[in-house]
Structure 1
Amino acid sequence: MEPTMAVVMCMYLELGQVELTGKVAIELGAGTGLVGIVAALLGAKKVTITDREPALGFLAANVKENIPPDQLGAVEVSELTWGQGLERYPTGGFDIVLGADIVYLEDTFPSLLQTMEHLSSESSVVLLACKIRYERDTNFLSMLKQRFTVHEVHYDKERDIHIYKAVKLPARRDL
């Protein structure tokens, strides 16, 4: 993971554009866990910080090191491989879904989208920090726009990092 994207996401969260106080958040593909840790420190009442199994030990140590003891109960480190074992997470159970530098492997796009859809409700906010480097990045945004309303909410020109806010489209009520 490129820490710069996580840093830009954290700076965006610190601007207070997204209400975190009392919210239930999840970070996908957390790497260091920085974004989830900052979300907890900024007032989210429950934060689930996820990554694949090999990253969990480092992630748990980072959380323990950076979250005050009285807030540790609000942060959970959890194994999540996109598209797998989603039943362990409540459907539409998160107010905020966070991802920094998780859009890069084209093979994972369908399972990443499936995971984002599962975790979010129509009132959830999905925030993604990414660089638009290749056609595949644009392709992912196109896929995302089929299921979510997507807006660019921040652009860090110096680092060429975009932050997108996505909100799930209402389920189609086909007659």
Structure 2
Amino acid sequence: MSLVPYEEGGGWAARQLHSPWASYSFASSSIRLRQDWRRLGVAAVVWDAAVVLCAYLEMGGVDLRDRSVIELGAGTGLLGIVATLLGARVTITDRAVALELLESNVQANLPPELRPRAVVKELTWGKDLGNFPPGTFDFILGADIVYLEETFEELLQTLEHLCSEQAVILLSCRIRYERDHKFLRMLRGPFSVHEVHYDSSKDVHIYKAQRGSPKDDL
């Protein structure tokens, strides 16, 4: 998730981040997520990039029904939950420290019949790849995961490992700094990358990446 400084008492945005709960409506469902800024920081709050990508998926930006999806850096789990509600089989991943909160949100917000379609697993970029066979996933999703330059090599390695010839990567992010452009340049080495959506109200971009030529009929 993104690393952005927020201070106590810093207005509406800060109050939202420090709130213990965040509520949304997607896929004809009410979603109420537990947040824990004080204990887990940026990994335990909902960022705009996740909300924008959820809206893009709900609007039919892609068809997730019965597709195999993996989310990287899931944080509170909003994106993975919405992908499951939209019909996907989803592997929702983050580092070990975030898994308890992530699992609790997933279980609390999916009806019992859909819970088997969402699996929470630990994934530290570049380190746990043997637990994720290449070519398994149709879509790789990430919301606000491009922010720490020291993780770029590991993130790119993870995307290359997970992405088969047919898989689609969707990354939702703000472009805040030159280092964000640097990652996009890195991504354009092994992948064809283009912007598919921009939310001007939240200043969030969605990029689609694929090996070879991008396909426009997804």
Residues 32 and 62 of structure 1 are in contact (CA less than 8 Å); yes or no, is this contact kept in structure 2? yes
Q: TM-score, normalised by structure 1?
A: 0.94
Residue among 59, 76, 82 paired with 1:15: 59
In 1, distance between residues paired with 2:169 and 2:201?
24
Equivalence for 1:73: 116
Equivalence for 1:173: none
Q: Please report how far the alpha carbon of residue 129 of structure 1 lies from its aligned counterpart in structure 2 after TM superposition.
A: 0.4
- Structure having the higher Rg: 2
Q: Please report how far the alpha carbon of residue 169 of structure 1 lies from its aligned counterpart in structure 2 after TM superposition.
A: 3.1
Q: Whose strand fraction is larger, Structure 1's or Structure 2's?
A: 1
Aligned pairs for 1:11-160 within 5 A: 11-44=55-88, 46-160=89-203
In 2, distance between residues paired with 1:110 and 1:92?
20
Residue correspondences, number = 169
SS at the partner of 1:102? Answer: coil
In 1, distance between residues paired with 2:211 and 2:151?
19
In 1, distance between residues paired with 2:83 and 2:211?
21
1:148 is aligned with what amino acid? F
> What's the Cα RMSD here?
1.0
Q: Please report how far the alpha carbon of residue 122 of structure 1 lies from its aligned counterpart in structure 2 after TM superposition.
A: 1.1
Residues 155 and 161 of structure 1 are in contact (CA less than 8 Å); yes or no, is this contact kept in structure 2? yes
Q: 1:101-157 deviations in whole A, cap 9, x for unaligned?
A: 000000000100110111111111100001111110000000000011101000001
Residues 117 and 168 of structure 1 are in contact (CA less than 8 Å); yes or no, is this contact kept in structure 2? no
**Structure with larger RCO (C-alpha < 8 A, sep 6+):** 1
SS at the partner of 1:39? Answer: helix
Does residue 170 of structure 2 align to residue 164 of structure 1?
A: no
- Structure 1 segments (4+ residues) deviating >3 Å: none
Query: Which ranges of structure 2 fall in alignment gaps of 5 or more residues?
Result: 2-45, 214-218
SS at the partner of 1:108? Answer: helix
Q: Please report how far the alpha carbon of residue 168 of structure 1 lies from its aligned counterpart in structure 2 after TM superposition.
A: 1.9
In 1, distance between residues paired with 2:122 and 2:159?
15
2:196 is aligned with what amino acid? V
Residues 103 and 140 of structure 1 are in contact (CA less than 8 Å); yes or no, is this contact kept in structure 2? yes
Percent of aligned positions with the same letter in both sequences? 60
Q: TM-score, normalised by structure 2?
A: 0.76
SS at the partner of 1:70? Answer: coil
In 1, distance between residues paired with 2:80 and 2:162?
15
In 2, distance between residues paired with 1:121 and 1:169?
11
